[in-house]
Amino acid sequence: MKKFEHEVIFCIVNAGFSDAVMDAARELGARGGTVIRARGTANSESEKLFGITIQPEKEMVMILVKSSIKDDILHALYRAVGLNTPGQGIAFSLPVDQVVGLSEAPAEPKEEKEPKAAE
C-alpha cells in the first residue's frame, strides 16, 4: 500500500462555523484552508428521522495537511464542530498523491558567520 505524505481534510459545517474549523485545525499545525459555500440536500423525512434540524446553508472547508497530523486534526474537529455541536459538522480525509505550490514553513533565521580575517 502506498504511503501518502499529504492528505486533504474536508469538513462540512453549518454556515458560520468555518472559523471554528480553522481555529481547531491551526492549533494542531494546519496552516490554512479554503472555504466553499455549499447547500445541504437533506429532506424533511431525514430531519424527523434523526431528530436534528438540518440547515441547508453549509460551508465546506478543505485543509491540506501532512499525513502525520491528520488524525489529530480530525479528532479536534469532531470535538469543536462535530454533529453534537451547533456546527453539526462532519469531517473526512482523502490521500493526496502529489502537491505543488506549497511553501514550507518559514525557516528560522540563521546566524551569520563573521568573515574570517585575511592572513
pLDDT digits (tens, 9 = 90+) for 51-96: 666 557 899 999 999 999 999 999 999 999 999 999 999 999 999 9
Q: Residue 102 has what pLDDT?
A: 78
Q: What is the pLDDT of residue 101?
A: 85
Q: Rounded to an integer, what distance in angstroms lies between the CA atom of residue 52 and that of residue 72?
A: 27
Instruction: Judge whether 87 and 20 are in contact, CB under 8 Å.
Output: yes
Q: Which one, of 58, 79, 65, 59, lies nearest residue 9 by Cα? A: 65
Q: What band does 35 get if pLDDT is binned at 50, 70 and 90?
A: very high
Structural domains in the chain plus CATH codes: 6-96 (3.30.70.120)
Q: What does pLDDT average to over the chain?
A: 85
Say yes or no to pLDDT of 31 above 70. Answer: yes
